[in-house]
Amino acid sequence: MTDEQPLNVGTIEVFYGISSPWAYLGMPKLREIARSEGVSLTLRPIRIIQNNGGIPLRERPLARQNYHVVELTRWRKFLDIPLNLKPKYYPCRTIEYAACLVIAAGLRGHDDVALSWAIQSALWAHDQDIADTNTLENIVGSVLHGDAKELLAFSQTSEVYAVWEKNLFDAEQLGIFGTPTYVVGDELFWGQDRLDFVQRKIHARC
């Protein structure tokens, strides 16, 4: 296979935490790669997989937490994406409501990518509480223009939770520990700073 022969890649699987600042910072470029390469995005919301070595931010040593802020500062400037370094509602009380809402949107055929971006932006750019169902209802109404209450109710069903649990199971089986992790074919790319390699993989240049 030469560098000019692309892989038969139809989708990029996106395993990510809905509250991850790195997933938020990476989403615009990810969407552009999908558009330019003619592939779809399969969103698979998860949380950090601790069984594989993932460590939640507030459980990391202080030095790592401090450096986390340094890197966020660098990347928000580099990407020119608005990001509050100390959002009022982060770390979130729970991410399951928001994550399951994105799953529900995908199952119903809605634009789950647009909804996810709006939720991520609400947390990181607009200081909103994405663990609050009223906040989520307002976001659904403004982005999807549908029955927000119905979608929220659906997001709390066993059908949706089964997908959430499968995402977590598959992530652990794949060896994923942190988010975002992008999966192209059988290869993992951890972190939004690996998106150039995601695009190269699509072209079989890695």
> Residue for token digits 């994406």?
81
To the query of whether residue 20 is one of the catalytic residues in this protein, the response is: yes
Cα–Cα distance, 118 to 186 (Å, whole number): 29
Question: Hey, what are 170's tokens?
Answer: 């598959």
Alpha-carbon torsion 172, 178, 184, 188, what sign? negative
Cis status of the peptide bond prior to 45, with omega within 30 of 0: no
> Residue for token digits 């192209």?
184
User: Which residue in 19, 20, 121, 155 is the catalytic one?
Assistant: 20
Question: What residues are labeled active site?
Answer: 20
